[in-house]
Amino acid sequence: MRLLVTGGAGFIGSALIRQLLAEEPSAVVINADKLTYAGNLECLESVSTSPKYYFERVDICDERAIRQLFDRYEPDAVIHLASETHVDRSIDGPSAFMQTNILGTYTLLEAAREYTGGARRSSEKEHFRFLHVSTDEVFGSLGLGGYFKETSRYAPNSPYAASKASADHLVRAWYTTYGLPVLITNCSNNFGPFQFPEKLIPLIILTALEEKPLPVYGDGQNVRDWLYVEDHCRALRRVLAAGRVGESYNIGARAERTTLDVVRELCLILDELQPRQNGRSYQDLIHFVQDRPGHDRRYAIDPTRVTEELGWTPLESFASALRKTVLWYLANLQWCERVRDGSCRGERLGVMQ
């Protein structure tokens, strides 16, 4: 199977490509990535020499380049991960999010529609799939109870969430109007090795090791449902292989934690694995800062559909995955320094000052 993965040099995309090439002997992967600040081919060094891996530096908004990819590689499926993803950056500069997440998705959909409507054999067209990977943030904020379901109302509250919601609607419209065989997934917060250091978990790990204040937004009681990236990739593969065309699947691990709880758990693991020289806990470095505008209070995914219909369940608990993640960062501090080249120094974004 030939798979075109957009955003394959990003955090989730690179994890998916490594997993595909390690576990699916028939997979040939074409990685299409623009290589923005968060794209890093070093994440794919372990597969870079594989005869089944191809890299193309492409902007998904470039219609001509995208059509050429379809013509050259004739993929059996598209897994669309290319996206601007950091909420704080979307507050400071929403334009890039509108371009990539909305117009880029439109460009891919049109190229896929032209491709599947072209002169390919009907048996090949029948099995083509377009898997669009989205986020739980499109649903807005939950109260103290309840869960996001596939039927939940869309109510995005940040420019990032609005851009992803728009992309979801485009994908659904291309299925309903044109019959493009699409699948949509909405996942909870991912974490794991190779995540860019602007995201909460790697940011806290690296900031703690530098003995700097650990920033916690607002009162730290915002709740997120955490999902280990390797488990997420396994779910994406199941949806692509067995999901029902035209349906969406929520992917989560039922691992709700407040931001403050996550930071405290990270501190306790670091206290054990990399104790401070002064003998004090890293928790002493926790520092509450101004909350960001439109900060959703709680996300929580109901993964019943993907579990019951497709048989997916996470292999890792939050505790085991968090510990694996900390161990990876401690063993790969040089990688962290190489990616923190000025694009991200752990500075505060999204305060609209």
Contact (Cβ atoms closer than 8 angstroms) between residue 131 and residue 183? yes
Q: Dig out the tokens for 18 from the structure.
A: 């490594």
The confidence score (pLDDT) of residue 119 equals: 43
pLDDT classification of 345: cutoffs 50, 70, 90: very low
pLDDT classification of 350: cutoffs 50, 70, 90: low
Which domains are delineated in the chain? Answer: 2-190+227-254+295-315 (3.40.50.720)
Q: How many CB atoms lie within 10 A of CB 57?
A: 13
Lowest-confidence pick of 154-168, 225-239, 298-312, 337-351 = 337-351
The confidence score (pLDDT) of residue 227 equals: 98
Contact (Cβ atoms closer than 8 angstroms) between residue 226 and residue 262? yes
Q: What is the mean pLDDT of the segment spanning 70-76?
A: 97
The confidence score (pLDDT) of residue 6 equals: 98
Residue 353 has pLDDT above 80, yes or no: no
The active-site residue out of 59, 88, 137, 316 is 137
Higher pLDDT: 18 or 145? It is 18
Q: Dig out the tokens for 299 from the structure.
A: 């996300």
Active site residue 265: no
Q: Which helix (H) or strand (E) holds 338?
A: helix 333-339
Q: How far apart are CA 331 and CA 334, in angstroms?
A: 8
Contacts (Cβ under 8 Å, ≥6 apart) of 139: 148, 152, 153, 154, 155, 156, 186, 299
The active-site residue out of 160, 175, 228, 299 is 160
DSSP state of 135: E
Q: How many CB atoms lie within 10 A of CB 154?
A: 14
Q: Do the strands 28-33 and 53-57 form a parallel or antiparallel pair, or are they unpaired?
A: parallel
Residue 188 has pLDDT above 90, yes or no: yes
The mean pLDDT value of the chain amounts to 93
Active site residue 136: yes
Q: How far apart are CA 12 and CA 318, in angstroms?
A: 17
Task: Tell whether pTM > 0.85.
Answer: yes
Q: How far apart are CA 178 and CA 33, in angstroms?
A: 26
Residue 348 has pLDDT above 80, yes or no: no
CA dist list (Å): 165 to 135, 140, 170:
8, 10, 9
The active-site residue out of 84, 136, 198, 265 is 136
Share of the chain above pLDDT 90, in %: 84
Lowest-confidence pick of 24-28, 143-147, 259-263 = 143-147
The confidence score (pLDDT) of residue 184 equals: 98
Lowest-confidence pick of 43-57, 119-133, 233-247, 312-326 = 119-133
Lowest-confidence pick of 145-149, 283-287, 341-345 = 341-345
Tens digits of per-residue pLDDT, 108-119? 999 999 999 854
The confidence score (pLDDT) of residue 253 equals: 97
The confidence score (pLDDT) of residue 352 equals: 55
pLDDT classification of 346: cutoffs 50, 70, 90: very low
The confidence score (pLDDT) of residue 38 equals: 82
Lowest-confidence pick of 107-111, 140-144, 236-240, 293-297 = 293-297
Query: Helix count (H) and strand count (E) of the chain?
Result: 13, 12
Q: How far apart are CA 56 and CA 65, in angstroms?
A: 10
Contact (Cβ atoms closer than 8 angstroms) between residue 177 and residue 242? no
Tens digits of per-residue pLDDT, 112-165? 999 998 544 444 566 899 999 999 999 999 988 999 999 999 999 999 999 999
H-helix segments, 196-298: 200-209, 229-242, 259-273
Active site residue 316: no
Tens digits of per-residue pLDDT, 82-100? 998 878 888 889 999 999 9
Tens digits of per-residue pLDDT, 200-229? 999 999 999 999 999 999 999 999 999 999
Based on C-alpha coordinates, what's the Rg of the chain? 20
The confidence score (pLDDT) of residue 351 equals: 54
